[in-house]
Structure 1
Amino acid sequence: MQFCAGNLAAQNASRSIQRVSVQPAYLEVVTNDGRYIFKPYTKNIIETSFIPAGEHVQQASHAVVLRPEKIKAQLHSDKQHLSYVAGNMTVHINRVLFQISYTYKDKALIAEDQGYQRSAQGRSLGFRLDQDEALYGAGARALGMNRRGYRLPLYNKAHYGYEEHSEQMNFSMPLVFSSKMYGIHFDNPTTGFLDLDSKKNNVLAYESLSGRQTYQLIAGDSWEDIISAYTQLTGRQPLPPRWAFGNFASRFGYHSESEARSVLAKYQEEQIPVDAIIFDLYWFGKDIKGTMGNLAFDKDHFPQPQKMIADFAQQGVKTILITEPFILTSSARWKEAVAENILAKDQQGQPFTYDFYFGHTGLIDLFDAHAQQWFWNIYKNLKAQGVAGWWGDLGEPEVHPAGLQHQTGSADQVHNIYGHQWAKLIAEGYRKDYPQERPFILMRAGYSGSQRFGMIPWSGDVNRTWGGLRSQPEIALQMGMQGMAYMHSDLGGFAGANLDDELYTRWLQYGVFQPVFRPHAQEEVASEPVFREPATRALAKAAIELRYRLLPYNYTLAFENNQHGWPLMRPLFFAEPMNPALSAASDSYLWGHDLLVHPVLKAGQKKADIYFPASSNWFDFYTGQTYAAGSRLSVDLVREHIPVFVRGGAFIPMAKPVQNTGQYSTRAFDLHYYYDPAVAASQGQLYDDDGVTAKAFEQGAYTLMKFRSEHRQQELVLTLDAVNGANTRKNFSKTHVSQAAASDRRVQVVIHNITAAPKKILLQNQPVAFAWDASSRQVTLDVVWKADTTATLVVQMRD
């Protein structure tokens, strides 16, 4: 067996083994100062818990939902060592000078340093690092992709107006991934620190004020394996409603019903697609301060909210409301909140009140069952009025005094899981009262595993500057690795009255290839494209239209995330894990498996230096130009779009133009195939369901289209096949999917990189008409794909 580097220098002479016990589901090692429990979850995940002498087994995890599988395990023992082999993971314990280390398939991963330690400041766990490994994780931060060298607070806290550097933000997680292809999740929500070798002594340390000393170690052969295992452990993201992939009208904020109506009328006038409108805090009050906690429409400015919402729905536009967990003493619900006993308490058992920006306030105790029901009843009432989605703001909570007490612990003990608990409240409310509906839950603070509640996080109040834009790909890439695949930014930037049309355009062009497309900003400068000057508006419109054209590809990415946990945005090192030059790269990224995206992050930039991953050749999405695998080239930039490239052999399904996702249908779509002679065979897919039903796939109400290519001699064979779920044909919903599954489909097939007109193209062995364009090197043909058949295209190439 191979042991971790540095293990001899990191032993604990004061800890000794007294007893070892092999149990069916775990290994127990009793030491002079406590006991260790080593519990395998899967063949690639093992959990280690240390329970100090005199303490009991600690509370259940807030993050882990996976039930341990039955893993065959063996213990090997001699006078020097113990080796506990469980699946692909092995725990090595040095008997003489106590130390724990881990291997995966005999590959060294990591070793504890001094192990569990207690001090006046709390508790800590230390681990030895290799000198050259890069570290990722710790939640949302702006530090550069390799976060090694920082000691980071584990305390959710808003950072208003941040740009390229932020060590503390809304969403912290006690989770670290290493370029050595492993991850460690410290399973304790209590506030503390993650020290990623800040002392430059090759030590990773987890520090907590109190709580359980438990961590899960995760390993795999690829990054996809590792992220899939982590999301298996902490829960997978349910599919959002399909309209979540459309364009949002949003600002801080719409003051009245008439203003909101006029904004949406402007979208219709400009024919810019839109799927939702978001109401910031003016929906419940005329002023920013003094009204938070009203949680009801202001009747003066919103006299007929239910009719307004219904009218918007008729236009295909969903209504989303902001909500906050703060009840101000000046709000209309203060007396009700006190009488209902739903607020967090002080030491005397009275509502804890304090001042913050919006006024004098109390905080809803989301850890109290009665308070949860009270809050959920408000959501139910608003939903009955037609509200389709929820924005949970200030959920860190933004101000959370240490003396405040919740039902299950102090503010410091539950601070980092407050937003997590809030998302859980809404998700479980939907499961109970609206089990067939997918909730939309937009929040900026949470914890490990918040993705399983359908939380859609955003990156907070970023500055409306180029520095603000530059941090966004890193934040989204990191959070995607940590399970939160829908992390996105306020497109255009939020904070400050900076009118910069180039910045706005580049941010929205980047937004096409991030999980949620939602321009949002302080109202001094318009966030909505309909209010920008004509040239900027035209560029924004083009970006939004492309976003809608990519809906089949994007929705399929969402399905893959739901099934496997894979992020939508992926770092380049996913393609080349062993390439150290990519370990800190975030200037380019993969959007799904098949698109390479390079955002433009500097003003006036004319060229971009782009690396093309060695896994395949790449084609310019707009021009078709070929770029060789593993090359690094300077690419000219144009104002109309950012650089995007397609993997050789890829299938990219695209939608026909629509004005909102309610018009979307897979009865007619475009299928782009990027022919590369170096690719002998490839495959792709398109997932479709009704876009609204919870767990549609699990209930068998879906269609999964499969595309395959095979290149042999002078023939290219493309195959289109479809698998329908058992309930797809039933009247499962009143949307298109139940009919589409049984219908013929009209597919415009576009084959790229064809340098000469084909001799002939056969569909089901019959010649079909096609067009070849010499300048674009594209072959285009219309295919009627008959229901319940496999469509086979044979392209006969010229010599």
Structure 2
Amino acid sequence: MKNKRIHLCLFAGLLFAACSQPQYQLTDDGVILNLRQENKVEASKLRVQVLGDELIHVSATPDKDFPTDSSLIIVPGLQTVPFEVEDAGDSILLSTARLNVMVSKLDGGIQFKDKAGHLILAEKSGGGRTFSPIEEEGTKGYSVRQLFNSPDDEDFYGLGQHQSDEFNYKGKSEELFQYNTKVSVPFIVSNKNYGLLWDSYSLSRFGDSREYKQLNRVFNLYNKKGERGSLTGTYQRWNGDLKQMVREEDSLCFEDIKSIKNLPENFPLKGASVTYEGDIEASESGAFRFILYYAGYVKVYLNNELVVPERWRTAWNPNSYKFTFELEAGKRVPLRVEWKPDGGRSYCGLRVQTPQPEDEQNSQVWWSEMNKKLDYYFVYGDSMDEIIKGYRTLTGKSQIMPKWAMGYWQSRERYKTQDEILDVLKEFRKRKIPIDNIVLDWNYWRESEWGSHEFDEKRFPNPKEMVDSIHAMNAKMMISVWPKFYVTTAHFKEFDEKGWMYQQAVKDSVRDWVGPGYVGSFYDAYSAGARKLFWKQMYEKLYPLGIDAWWMDASEPNVLDCTDMEYRKSLCGPTALGPSAEYFNTYALMNAEAIYNGQRSVAPNKRVFLLTRSGFAGLQRYSTATWSGDIGTRWEDMKAQISAGLNFSISGVPYWTMDIGGFCVEDRYVAGQMEYNKSGKENADYKEWRELNTRWYQFGAFAPLYRSHGQFPFREVWNIAPKGHPAYESITYYTDLRYRLMPYIYSLAGMTYFNDYTIMRPLVMDFSFDKRVENIGDQYMFGPSFMVCPIYRYEDRQRDVYFPNNGGWYNFYSGEYIAGGQKLTVDAPYERIPLFVKEGAIIPVGPEIQYTEEKPAAEIVLYVYRGQNGNFTLYEDEGVNYNYEKGACSNILFSYNDAEGTLTIGDRKGEFDGMLKERNFVIVPVSKENPKAFQPDAQGQTVHYDGHQQTIKL
């Protein structure tokens, strides 16, 4: 048979199996087992497919046959590789060049081993898989659960981007759904040399298959008086006179527009102060996991201990936060929740999980609400980079973004007129602050015409002239396009007549927040015809203007804010493929496909660039980046973005960004700006606002994409602070530095395509041998050379930094040498983020530029950090097209030999139109004995390079 060898001894087993159970069938790409099924919650068939030497697909069903559905996330046409199958007693052994997969004949349980026989991953005894029938919208399916053994020293990373500031998911749980600020990707990377991609599009859970319960379902509750059955809720508001209401609460569930109706009727929340207090009593001992849901200001005390310091989120966009607390059976523990609602409608909730059941402890747990079958992909690799390469083999390569996308983007909610957006760009150019992209957010249309793609001519009298003017200032323009349409628009009607609009919002007359409120809904992106129409409407109305990139907002899809889960499903379904419960999480992927394929169909050699608020596995193949949504403007929100960005990156999608400064703004910062505008005086809140933005810009300059956005106060640097202020000087310093580092950054972009590289890298990716990095989620590598250590607390001027045990490190600003393998407290002055360079790093630094394509890097300063051997490849191409896919690009390898003290500049490999055939390299060595502060135009040994190899003695 093609691509495999089968040991003859297997045929005897097959012959015997034909007359008894179980039966085994060989396929061109693996094995199918017919299992003895005791009941319908067990699998009757198991399929193991070889998709590569390191890639194994496992699927199971309780039905007689596998469904014929195809995956939305796996790219078609994967070729199998040679493999062998043999009978191994009570198991089937399927082996590739790098893996041995043992499959039990009795129950289908699977063990994945390396070629030396070391166990990598094993399903729980008996296979660890269960099926529970479910029916939604007349379609039958299964809730599925899969358990794997997990040793105590295993760590998990990935799962997309979440906001509870969790990094290592070992011993934690995460519910996987899409929401504004929450992007779920069902892929984890383990420190045990594998990744696991869970192929489900429905509501899923990792780590614990159970949902959180209301407090009264888990605890005995006692009010302030000690009476059993409830907590005491005290609602008070000072409005000249104290207004107070006290009532008993059997749960804290005011989490959405349905459940907040349980709050006291006719009690105004705006300006209120609410306390829930009493005791909770557990019936068992152990670690209880809590999830807090909140809008406004909230604190939580347990056993008189502050377990959740004050957190805040705007009323229309609540957040969740998780914490764990050890409780003893029968012991009453005081609970106190202090809540200050934000606005007239606000949210608060607290739910809990009991200690995890024994069969799930020390396990890797996956659960999904509705699948046609159970599906997962095992990815093996000697490093996390290899694992991510395998993931992208399955789900698609990451395209190289346009070079201009690596520069700075300016955005706000929102530029309200044509003059406003042009004036901002003119100010950047006047002040000589580099910028490449300016963004037009929502509501550029006439108020009642969302989805028309028509500009309001009163505010934007000549959109084509506006875009042309932006281009004339050597910048690009991105525009916000939603999958949302008001019922009165011609575009809605065009979708609707073909049955391609979600109808529930229209039936319920759901009105949005604009003006008097308008009725509309979202198109069904699961329909191939609807996707083509969505692009066609953009192509007819927006593309002719010369717009460069597309911002796909609310792509969760977010039809209505703050709804309960069941109503969310009703609002975004049924889909063309099936029930919304089954296809709950993949809308953003389908929507991105619409734009990517649409633009490439009309301009096949112009790089597509999309930014989307949601995402899923495979998003990277559509040249799409994700941002972390409408996050809050708090220090804890900034800190949470570090771990969020790291886990999103290690989930295999390399381009991630955030709203620098946060999106939703506390009232105190708005008031501080207004006071400053009137008096010119900086009050305490405005002082903090400036420092918060400064620290966030410092962090953002070392994200894959560098982008500022948010509500008022405006985020342009001169609107944050005047020239000469340390905030202004620091922000412009890092913007300039970003552009100076463009040869380095764009080379990383090339590596994402050619080497399946990850730009924003948790330390565990590069220093997995050092156990001390496994839980460090607030430092990271930006490419192979820079270790970035953001400052995320107000007025901090120092922070602790761990220097991985991989030789030495250099302070970027001073050149001071630091030995690895130690934690130090380092200085962090207002104007600087702690930044360190790995020993052996080679960093190319380009000329001063105002936009990425202003001029070629005819002279590059090469910093060489001595102490270890090192190398770096300078990648270049045409920057705006797909010719790189056909080989139109160049690579120059720099290799440093520390023992010899030599730098070799290799032969240039490849070429492209407009390529510099000659240039100068200025070599600046930095060593322990000769430390040098970074200077972008440093003097050093100059080498003229014409494309041929040279070796230079340093």
TM-score range, shorter chain: 0.7 to 0.9
Q: Match of 2:33?
A: 29
Q: Deviations over 1:140-177 (max 9, x none)?
A: 11341112344433321125xxxxxxxxx1x2122222
Could you tell which deviates more after superposition, 192-201 or 598-607? 192-201
Partners of 2:88 and 2:159 in 1: CA distance: 38
Note if contact 2:31-2:49 (Cα within 8 Å) is conserved in structure 1.
yes
1:378 is the counterpart of 2:537: yes
Q: Match of 1:135?
A: 156
1:226 is the counterpart of 2:417: no
Query: What letter matches 1:478 in structure 2?
Result: N
Instruction: Tell me which of 858, 881, 889 is aligned to 1:702.
Output: 889
Instruction: Tell me which of 203, 210, 216 is aligned to 2:371.
Output: 210
Structure 2 SS opposite 1:207: strand
Q: Deviations over 1:655-691 (max 9, x none)?
A: 1111111214122222111122xx2x32211111111
Note if contact 1:187-1:212 (Cα within 8 Å) is conserved in structure 2.
no
1:47-86, aligned counterparts within 5 Å? 47-65=57-75, 67-86=77-96
1:107 is the counterpart of 2:115: no
- Quickly say closer, same or farther: Cα 1:363–1:109, change in 2 above 3 A: same
1:538 is the counterpart of 2:725: no
Query: What letter matches 1:555 in structure 2?
Result: Y
Q: Match of 1:393?
A: 553
> Displacement, 1:337?
4.0
1:118 is the counterpart of 2:309: no
Q: Match of 1:252?
A: 413
Q: Deviations over 1:543-586 (max 9, x none)?
A: 11011111111111111111222210111112222433221211
Instruction: Tell me which of 746, 756, 762 is aligned to 1:565.
Output: 756
Q: Match of 1:503?
A: 692
Note if contact 2:62-2:131 (Cα within 8 Å) is conserved in structure 1.
no
> Displacement, 1:417?
1.3
> Displacement, 1:31?
1.0
Q: Which runs of 5+ in 1 are unaligned?
A: 1-15, 160-168, 733-737, 757-771
Structure 2 SS opposite 1:402: helix
Query: What letter matches 2:120 in structure 1?
Result: L
Alignment identity in percent? 26
Note if contact 1:275-1:661 (Cα within 8 Å) is conserved in structure 2.
yes
Q: Match of 2:5?
A: none
> Displacement, 1:190?
2.5
Q: Deviations over 1:31-53 (max 9, x none)?
A: 12422111111111111111323
Partners of 1:600 and 1:439 in 2: CA distance: 34
Partners of 2:152 and 2:586 in 1: CA distance: 33
1:595 is the counterpart of 2:786: yes
Could you tell which deviates more after superposition, 567-576 or 81-90? 81-90
Query: What letter matches 2:694 in structure 1?
Result: T
Query: What letter matches 1:220 in structure 2?
Result: G
Note if contact 2:160-2:185 (Cα within 8 Å) is conserved in structure 1.
yes
1:418 is the counterpart of 2:587: yes
Note if contact 2:189-2:384 (Cα within 8 Å) is conserved in structure 1.
no
Partners of 1:577 and 1:640 in 2: CA distance: 32
Q: Match of 2:836?
A: 645
Note if contact 2:35-2:108 (Cα within 8 Å) is conserved in structure 1.
no
- Quickly say closer, same or farther: Cα 1:126–1:520, change in 2 above 3 A: same
> Displacement, 1:496?
1.1
Q: Match of 1:721?
A: 906
1:486 is the counterpart of 2:669: no
> Displacement, 1:344?
3.3
Note if contact 1:245-1:516 (Cα within 8 Å) is conserved in structure 2.
yes
> Displacement, 1:96?
4.7
- Quickly say closer, same or farther: Cα 1:592–1:346, change in 2 above 3 A: same
> Displacement, 1:340?
5.7
Could you tell which deviates more after superposition, 376-385 or 498-507? 376-385
Q: Match of 1:304?
A: 462
Q: Deviations over 1:480-523 (max 9, x none)?
A: 1111111121111111143411110010001111011111011x
> Displacement, 1:608?
1.6
Partners of 2:772 and 2:932 in 1: CA distance: 39
Could you tell which deviates more after superposition, 125-134 or 226-235? 125-134
Q: Which runs of 5+ in 2 are unaligned?
A: 1-19, 38-43, 135-142, 210-355, 560-567, 670-685
Query: What letter matches 1:725 in structure 2?
Result: G
Q: Deviations over 1:350-378 (max 9, x none)?
A: 98964454532122122223322221122
1:402 is the counterpart of 2:570: yes
Aligned length: 731
Asked which structure has the greater CA Rg, the reply is 2
> Displacement, 1:97?
5.8
Q: Match of 1:618?
A: 809
Note if contact 2:555-2:613 (Cα within 8 Å) is conserved in structure 1.
yes
Partners of 2:197 and 2:928 in 1: CA distance: 48
Note if contact 1:139-1:172 (Cα within 8 Å) is conserved in structure 2.
yes
TM-score (norm 1): 0.87
Query: What letter matches 2:128 in structure 1?
Result: G
Query: What letter matches 2:443 in structure 1?
Result: Y
Query: What letter matches 1:140 in structure 2?
Result: Q
1:148 is the counterpart of 2:174: no
Structure 1 SS opposite 2:848: coil
Note if contact 1:236-1:564 (Cα within 8 Å) is conserved in structure 2.
no
Structure 2 SS opposite 1:214: strand
Note if contact 1:351-1:362 (Cα within 8 Å) is conserved in structure 2.
no
Q: Match of 2:920?
A: 746
Note if contact 1:17-1:95 (Cα within 8 Å) is conserved in structure 2.
no
- Quickly say closer, same or farther: Cα 1:781–1:363, change in 2 above 3 A: same
Q: Match of 2:179?
A: 157
Q: Match of 1:440?
A: 609
- Quickly say closer, same or farther: Cα 1:205–1:255, change in 2 above 3 A: same
- Quickly say closer, same or farther: Cα 1:352–1:182, change in 2 above 3 A: farther
TM-score (norm 2): 0.73
Could you tell which deviates more after superposition, 37-46 or 502-511? 37-46
> Displacement, 1:720?
1.7
Instruction: Tell me which of 774, 795, 798 is aligned to 1:604.
Output: 795
Q: Match of 2:404?
A: 243
Instruction: Tell me which of 410, 426, 430 is aligned to 1:265.
Output: 426
Q: Match of 2:628?
A: 459
Note if contact 2:120-2:192 (Cα within 8 Å) is conserved in structure 1.
yes
Note if contact 1:66-1:232 (Cα within 8 Å) is conserved in structure 2.
no
Partners of 2:609 and 2:172 in 1: CA distance: 34
Q: Match of 2:704?
A: 515
1:742-781, aligned counterparts within 5 Å? 742=917, 744-753=918-927, 755=929, 780-781=939-940
Structure 1 SS opposite 2:746: helix
Note if contact 1:650-1:682 (Cα within 8 Å) is conserved in structure 2.
yes
- Quickly say closer, same or farther: Cα 1:76–1:746, change in 2 above 3 A: same
- Quickly say closer, same or farther: Cα 1:339–1:79, change in 2 above 3 A: closer
Partners of 1:335 and 1:571 in 2: CA distance: 47
Instruction: Tell me which of 254, 274, 277 is aligned to 2:435.
Output: 274
- Quickly say closer, same or farther: Cα 1:354–1:683, change in 2 above 3 A: same
- What RMSD over aligned residues (CA atoms) do the two structures have, in Å? 2.5
Q: Match of 1:326?
A: 484
Note if contact 1:773-1:779 (Cα within 8 Å) is conserved in structure 2.
no
> Displacement, 1:703?
1.7
Note if contact 2:596-2:622 (Cα within 8 Å) is conserved in structure 1.
yes
Partners of 2:735 and 2:468 in 1: CA distance: 25
> Displacement, 1:330?
4.5
> Displacement, 1:390?
0.3
Q: Deviations over 1:729-764 (max 9, x none)?
A: xxx4xxxxx241x3x2022222222747xxxxxxxx
Note if contact 1:281-1:292 (Cα within 8 Å) is conserved in structure 2.
no
Query: What letter matches 2:477 in structure 1?
Result: T
Note if contact 2:21-2:35 (Cα within 8 Å) is conserved in structure 1.
yes
Structure 2 SS opposite 1:688: strand
> Displacement, 1:341?
4.8
Q: Match of 2:9?
A: none
Query: What letter matches 1:688 in structure 2?
Result: E
Q: Match of 1:673?
A: 864
> Displacement, 1:59?
1.1
